[in-house]
Amino acid sequence: MSALLTEIVIESTDPSVAATFWSETLGWGLHEHMPGNVPWISASGDPEQHDLKLVFVKTRPGRPAGNRFYLNPVGCDMAQEIGRLSSLGATQDGEGSKTPWVAMVDPGGTGLTILPTRID
């Protein structure tokens, strides 16, 4: 029997801001786990459901800035999505890339790429 992946924990300089950004980006409701007010989001919004949850925690002291984890929203007009995510607080990561995607960073420091189409 294989395991189920139900949570991805994302370290962030500001977990509440990052969780709000991703909640608005994905259209998933924002929730908090008690105790500790740990913000999380999922498509169902049900903590008992075995769907994927993104959980946001504060970056540990002494941990280097940045990470190697990228979230890749797809299925959108790139220019519109870049504008929408910028209005939510994301910033572009580098200019003039020759790749088919655009790299951005969310308000909590997590990298993301906007893809023009699904890459399989």
Place of tokens 């500790």: 36
Q: Quote the pLDDT of residue 44.
A: 93
- pTM higher than 0.85: no
Decide: helix, strand or coil at residue 120. Answer: coil
Whole-number percent of the chain with pLDDT over 70: 82
Decide: helix, strand or coil at residue 59. Answer: coil
pLDDT-derived band of residue 90, with 50, 70 and 90 as boundaries? very high
Segments of the chain assigned E as strands:
7-12, 30-33, 38-42, 53-58, 70-71, 91-92, 102-105, 111-114
Q: What's the rounded Cα separation, in Å, for the pair 4 and 23?
A: 22
Calculate mean pLDDT across residues 91-105.
78
Average pLDDT, the chain: 83
Query: Is residue 22 scored above 80 in pLDDT?
Result: yes
Cβ neighbours, 10 Å, residue 110 = 23
Contact present, 18 and 104 (Cβ < 8 Å): no
Domains and CATH numbers, the chain: 7-114 (3.10.180.10)
Decide: helix, strand or coil at residue 58. Answer: strand
